[in-house]
Structure 1
């Protein structure tokens, strides 16, 4: 009979059956069908709602528990079960006052109920304490508000008061009190007076953020009071701390409307986004129109573009296409064409990082054009901008369009290449490079460098532009010389790591390296020139000879690290690519011998790797970089929003961490802290690389030192992500080793690992044919067995204990040690587990293996297991007596070959336990009298 043929009462009974079995999903479906089948709001329908609420309670879906209980209470007011279940849900959601109210109603309706009384007592204490705390917070808030917003108060005291209010705003009670007291209007008034006190302004911005956090309704009220332009006004500063605070505040506003938080894996809530669609769209429009605002600082402009970039990939927000529709691309292209050299009244303020950030943003927008029509709209908007600029006969327009093309080539490369491929564009750039105007020369050089990314473009430029670049390298202007040098470096490296392809004569790469070095190590050269020198090295270091030459040049490496420490986004590509090349951390194509022979037969070109890229040379380079402090550079550069750059940084980190002797240096210089976000947010390969680097650190260094405080909890998820069939065996193994160390720290960490789903992932590797993976997984389980929650997993209806018994007798000593150690802890903690050992057909052979093992540690574990079994229950002890285990124990107590006194002592205690059960001399019938029952709580059962 199908569900559709069942009556509502029959559906309810079916739901009850599934509920008793613990099949929550199936029970939920039956109760839901029963509700839908009942049109009238009668008592039966109330029961269906209450029963479904019981399922939601088991699934910890507390919001739905409350909804269903509310529906039941509409039909049957003061129903004890509905009130009780809603009380439990409220308590789980930390809504203690509401939970206390429901508990009181339950007692009023059913005074004899014993189940509610302890809950009522507990909630009463919590509510009383919260009331006292709220009273203290209210008094504190009133005092701080008076001090902070009284202009006659001393400035330092006002700063202190604002910081105290910030702390109070982080508590829900404090935030609610402040909001009701009208702190927003007070902040507006105060900031009109305190225009130059950044300490007070920053605190005020952060208070607004806390008030908006996770509360869309309150956020809407705040926006109505202060307006979106206020946030832009707060953003408009050269104080980095203030700009960061304002950016965070604006992201919190968006998060509140969209249901996100600041965690890397957070995603918008579709229902919430639809509800606040107008607010979210207005927010985007405000950001887009501000990108070309001539009155804001360069730092503020960068931050606005970063905000767009960080949220443009969420399909629920649909920002990518909306940006095109509201002409946001044209505005971003306008920013990308801006030059610091052109200073006039309506010029935009930009930073050295502005164009880099804009190129990444454009790239992200293009990535989110998921279908051809959307991509066509993107390209049409870019075309419109380019054509408008080219129609203007002024030189400035040609310069600007060239700069914009360069930005495109650094972002959405395909779009940039399609522009360069058009008739006359590349020729225009080459003509600009051959003029005597230094600005045109600089701009053209940069565009040539960016355009030579594909081999066909590189060949065209080699044929047409090398002589121009050589000529520009003779310039007296260092800015032009270094750009021309980088162009030559890029063309020189067009063969990549293939030693058989040399676009220039032999020795040219080393000469270009020496020229880049002169610019890099010269402290008299400005930052921009040194940045270009690093970019030149990023191309040259495809050559293994250049790598070896550079790694021996400590002065040049240190200069490059110093350039990176500044954290300038425009320098990131050059430094990171150079480091990736030095570390050989790029993807290497797997060479299949059969395909290689086929290529030789077909006379196809076969790339050859240089002998200086052998592992010994690479490892030496990695250790040198680690000891020179490359981690400090990586930490500074990891603040980028470019996912590709994050991947490259993770690759370098992972390569450095492959060398055990420098892992401690990586941790000391903040590498572990930086790797955590890289492991959770980025490209698939980037996250994997960062996670493996964390695993390598966790293997070598005490986890409490490597990942102090909360970080040790946060590192668990990236490590678990490596326990994936798509990862290599080495990545699996290193993850298991690190997890083993972490699981040995304390019980709260073990519980957190289980909560993150670690057990099932780790357990699967115990069944692997790969010896090292099986051993490592068993060792992790051994450490996890110290947690009572793991013990419960082995007590259930499964064969886990049976498999531990099998692994205890494994040929591999390390696996046997881990499995028998886990079994020893398990049998000490669980009588059920002791009985389940007999489920294994070969349990006696495994016991024999352990007790007679020449390895004293394995033997010790075996004796502990047997002792635990004998002491657990008479039934288990009786089964052991039927075998020769007692004789073995007696032999162990007397044998002179047993050197470990603990083994003899435990064997003796096991024999004593058997004697206490009166089983050694004479076997007796098992006594099964101890079954006791407890009365079911009537409020917990379904009806």
Structure 2
């Protein structure tokens, strides 16, 4: 029999899309082919199916019309766990493309395949059916959950798993299916109802006792791993069952005071930690199990105080293949250990209490092991285990999902002020800036977390030390992105705004290039925060303005171009110099001390009706720093040349400048302030 033309041949290219599809299925139905050929055929079929979706919209006939039940049987059988990973991976993409192209008809054929295989009831049929279900669960969860919840299906698994003669492959396929099903709430509840008992039996079985019992009954019995001649569950099967149980036990919600299950989540966690440390062969199961077990606070505490396990988890993260389930699982464990409880307003807390009363649950008692003090301690222990270098390395080759987890971990670590300098030394700032830039804009939550973590670190560190090899202007855009409160948040959280302003103020204390970068990138948002009703935010914005106007170019471009906007900005800064808050007055006074070096700005200040009085009030203030700023402003104004200087003298004289400066000198102990006052008074002599 002649081999059908390959996808790359001229004969194949000249065929219609339907004929190409049939030819590919004919090739896939052949036996004895090399994996590379199978992968190539599956790839070409996937391409045809993906293109089909768009072509059908344009009025062309769909290639799915020629795909019958036997064809579907062919491609889904390549999802069998006994196939090479590369073939299974390409088959997964192919099945996904088929289901998208075929719609309801594809769902119907897949459902028929699943039910037919389960009804045959051979070990081989069970393996294929379970593998297919496990693979397509994330692709079509609604369809798969419907198949999974078919009446009688789940109850039938218990007798299958309790058979005297075990098939490791059947059991593995079954448990991988249950593992995937637990992502769906209704399926998880059904697994809890029908499967929890025999899952516990598998986990609790002592393999050595089972073997001894077999040999006692028949000394000549031949026990082969993975064979149906076994009467015991394999170690791998036990681990998978433990992972499924962990998912059942770790459901979100209050932790039960009394654990009715034989195997508690704490027991499972101990099993996983032991596997991780003692049995590298089962690292995937142990890490996946810990990722779910560590959702519980007691497990978090035990893990955090287990230095050996933490260090092993870090090493596992370092050595895991990029974008692998193992890498994602290890990151998930660290996210669980370090995550703080979300901030709640008083109103939200009261609403939660009312809901609890309505549910007859009484007043909700927060878990003490999840309070900020416990989380902070866990963060310190995770940091001490060496997590930061591992995160820096893995951030370079991770997926969007894993990058989001990395950001979450660094975000939590950055809460602890004492860790911020060390985080910077170990590369966390570069990680966060790169992650912010790498994440798509739709990943707004992850980008905001990265920016806020960066802000926290830059508040507490010297920019000159952090940015030895990286331009510090690279940090401006991420920081600027969180000045405006999150528009999608249920509650208005001003902490990111406040921290971003503080970090930018720190950066603006360094050089003119950075000040100019901040002004170009973020001025509109900074200016908006000057009007904030939150005193701390308003003060932080004023302090940032004070720092960025140290750049003559920024000062002139924003306040000295003679425009209406510049006049309004001068008016705002003058008004802030009269604020009730001392720090706000000080920041505004500092800004005026820099701005009054320019005659055009002084002219704008003189145009404000109360400006002279406000400035002299600074000279009379009880705070030495404020008196210093006021004295500088007055000196700058009266020493201006020409008519601007004359107008300044006249305005200030009318407001009692001599008396104000005399009072300033009497209150001050600083020689610098006294010298400024004496120089200025000479002008009015």
- The reply to whether TM is greater than 0.5 is yes
Which of 472, 479, 482 does residue 202 from structure 2 map onto? 472
Alignment root-mean-square deviation, CA: 4.2
- Provide the rounded CA distance (Å) in 1 between the counterparts of 2:105 and 2:420: 50
2:662 to 883, 891, 905: 891
Alignment partners' CA distance in 2, 1:396 and 1:706: 60
| Residues 619-628 or 569-578, more deviating | 569-578
The equivalences for 1:796-875 within 5 A come to 796-798=563-565, 799-828=568-597, 830-875=598-643
**CA contact under 8 A between 2:458 and 2:506: conserved in structure 1?**
yes
> 1:209-358 maps to which residues of 2 (within 5 A)?
338=79, 341-342=82-83, 348=86
Indicate how the Cα distance of structure 1 residues 349 and 633 shifts in structure 2: closer, same or farther if over 3 A, else same. farther
Would the alpha carbon gap of residues 630 and 348 (structure 1) be closer, same or farther in structure 2, given more than 3 Å must change? closer
Aligned to 2:672: 902
Give the conservation status (yes or no) of the 8 Å contact 1:499–1:609: no
Counterpart pick for 2:332 among 577, 584, 596 = 577
Cα drift, residue 890 of structure 1: 6.3
* Shift in Å, 1:297: 12
Give, in angstroms, the shift of residue 540 of structure 1.
Answer: 1.8
Q: Report what 1:25 is aligned to.
A: none
Supply the distance in 1 between the matched residues of 2:273 and 2:609 (Cα, whole angstroms).
71
CA distance in structure 2 between the partners assigned to 1:630 and 1:320 by the alignment: 50
The offset of 1:718, in angstroms, is 1.9
Match of 2:287 among 528, 534, 539: 534
Equivalent residue for 2:353?
596
Q: Greater CA deviation, 483-492 or 787-796? A: 787-796
Partner residue of 1:440 out of 163, 170, 173 = 170
CA distance in 2, matches of 1:651, 1:559: 20
**Offset of residue 380 of structure 1:** 5.3
5+ residue gaps, structure 1: 1-228, 230-284, 367-373, 915-919, 922-943
Kept in 2: contact 1:737–1:776 (CA 8 A): yes
Aligned to 2:558: 793
How far has the Cα of 1:532 moved from its partner?
1.2
Q: Evaluate the alpha carbon distance shift between residue 606 and residue 443 of structure 1 in structure 2; reply closer, same or farther with a 3 A threshold.
A: farther
Secondary structure at the residue paired with 1:872? coil
**Structure-1 residue corresponding to 2:127:** 399
CA distance in 1, matches of 2:62, 2:638: 77
Q: 1:348 to 1:910 in 2, by over 3 A?
A: same
SS at 1:456 equivalent: helix
The alpha carbon displacement at 1:837 in A equals 0.8
Give the corresponding residue for 1:697: 457
Relative distance call for 1:731 and 1:358 in structure 2 (3 A) is farther
CA displacement at 1:834 relative to structure 2: 0.5
Q: Distance in 1 between matches of 2:56 and 2:446?
A: 24
Out of 478, 494, 499, the position equivalent to 1:729 is 494
CA distance in 2, matches of 1:751, 1:412: 51
Task: Check whether the contact 1:809–1:816 (CA below 8 A) recurs between aligned residues.
Answer: yes
Once the 2 structures are TM-superposed, how far is the Cα of residue 856 of structure 1 from its aligned partner? Answer: 2.5
Q: 1:736 Cα deviation (Å)?
A: 1.0
Q: Deviations over 1:162-205 (max 9, x none)?
A: xxxxxxxxxxxxxxxxxxxxxxxxxxxxxxxxxxxxxxxxxxxx
Q: Name 2:389's counterpart in structure 1.
A: 632
Q: State the Cα distance separating 1:866 from its structure 2 match.
A: 1.4
Q: How does 1:588-737 map to 2 (within 5 A)?
A: 591-594=348-351, 596-597=353-354, 599-601=356-358, 603=360, 608-639=365-396, 642-680=399-437, 681-682=439-440, 683-710=443-470, 712-726=472-486, 728-737=493-502
SS in 2 for 1:854: coil
CA distance in 2, matches of 1:563, 1:576: 10
CA change 1:903–1:605 in 2 (3 A) is: closer
Q: State how far apart, in whole Å, the 2-side matches of 1:824 and 1:295 are.
A: 76
Secondary structure of 1:861's counterpart equals: helix
In 1, the alpha carbon distance for the partners of 2:105 and 2:450 equals 38
Conservation of the 8 A alpha-carbon contact between 2:527 and 2:541: yes
Secondary structure of the 2:639 match is helix
CA contact (8 A) 1:498 1:607 kept: no
Structure 2's unaligned 5+ residue stretches are 1-7, 9-20, 206-231, 487-491
Match of 1:746 in 2: 511
User: Following TM superposition, by how much is the alpha carbon of 1:877 offset from its aligned partner in structure 2, in angstroms?
Assistant: 2.5
Assess if the C-alpha contact under 8 Å between 1:851 and 1:888 holds in 2. no
CA apart distance, 1:889: 7.3
* Residue 855 of structure 1: how far off its partner (Å): 2.4
Deviation at 1:585, TM superposition (A): 4.0
**Rounded Cα–Cα distance in structure 1 between residues aligned with 2:56 and 2:475:** 32
Whole-Å separation in 2 of the counterparts to 1:896 and 1:671: 50
- Tell me if the contact between 2:56 and 2:62 (Cα under 8 Å) persists in the aligned partners: no
Give the equivalent residue in structure 1 for 2:537: 773
Gap change, CA 1:431 and 1:511, over 3 Å in 2:
same
